[in-house]
Amino acid sequence: MLARFFSISHAQLSSRVWSLSKNPLSRFRIRVTPTKPTRTKFSTSSFFRIAEVAAPKAQQRYPECLCIYKAGDLRSGWVAFWKATAIFEFGCVFFFLSPQFYKAEEWEPREWVRNVYGVGITIIAALPMISLSYLTAPFVKRVNLHLPNAWARTNRRTLAAFSSSLPPTTRLEFVTLRTFPFERTSTVQLSHLRALPSQWGRFANIRLLKPWERPAREVEMKRLWTRFVEAAREPRWKFYVKEGKAYTIMSGVPGVWEDVAKQVKRQTEEEDAKKEMKTVVKMVGSRNGVALGKGREKEKEKERERKVTELAGKKMKRQTTRRG
């Protein structure tokens, strides 16, 4: 700033030094140094503008949608391969083998028998596809965590602090596989997840609350055609997340999914405790009701006996008065 005032005062006092000189190189020039906001906002070069836009993002280490669990490409590819194989087998039987049974008049002249054979073979061919679609529906390929807070995306320490105390409104994305092995993303809320105990024949370990199980303020009224569209999208109500550090290490942020699993387990335990408390209150209330009912019956019997004794005493008094 002092250099600018010096150059302006020098130009006003002796303007001939720089304006009347024949040699252009010897003329005195005022040095102009634009400020940083001026360079970034009004510069004709795109370099300063790109640097200004990228500067705040360079401080954020993690993206807003962070992957916290990854099942692995080998495991996901294996599941997708068998699902595609079952679909291919059903398509071959449906388009090639079943029509051959229906057209084989020389082999079976009765048409209804040929129809039964064709339909039966088609149903048998569909069983592997249906069973694989049902059993592998909870399989989770990837879990993403939404980080709306920019502070949590700065470094590993802030991310661990955020994951240790997750708010109930935190959003999670469970990436599963459809009937045909394409990815299907289910966006859920952390407060709607519950843990499932291990059980024979059950492949899921996390379930999503149905709309009628959620609080009334969170239930959205949907039209009939909207429900049909959601059913066609293959909604997921159960998920299977493999336990182990190897699957969280592949995501690059080990320990975050463990914090999410602890929160889900804590929510499940609190809900189970509330249910047990309600059942205990009902049982105690029913017992108290029975005891109150028995006490009221005894009181009624005593009142009846008292009335009978009063009537008997009145009759005795009347008889004595008459005799006297």
- Give per-residue pLDDT as tens, 148-196: 888 888 888 999 999 998 999 999 999 999 888 888 899 999 999 999 9
Whole-model pTM: value is 0.64
Q: Does 65 have pLDDT greater than 60?
A: yes
Assess whether pLDDT exceeds 50 at residue 54: no
* 85: pLDDT strictly greater than 90: yes
Overall average pLDDT of the 9-15 stretch = 53
pLDDT tens sequence across 254-313: 889 999 999 999 999 998 888 888 887 777 766 555 555 566 677 777 787 777 777 767
Q: 14-53 in b/e burial notation, b at 16+ Cβ within 10 A?
A: eeeebeeeeeeeeeeeeeeeeeeeebbeeeeeeebeeeee
Quick one: what percent of the chain has pLDDT higher than 90? Answer: 26
- pLDDT at residue number 188: 92
- Top-confidence residue, 231 or 62: 62
Residue-averaged pLDDT of the chain: 77
Averaged pLDDT, 6-33: 52
Q: What are phi and psi of 26, to 5 degrees?
A: -90, 0
Which pLDDT does position 262 carry in this prediction?
92
The string of DSSP letters for 41-61 reads: HH-SSHHHHHHHHHHHHHT--
C-alpha distances in angstroms, 67 versus 62, 70, 71, 138, 202?
A: 10, 7, 11, 18, 26
Instruction: Give the residue carrying structure tokens 């009912």.
Output: 293
Q: Which of 46, 40, 58, 252 is nearest to 145 (CA)?
A: 252
235 vs 58: which has the higher pLDDT: 235
Structural domain boundaries of the chain? Answer: 65-268
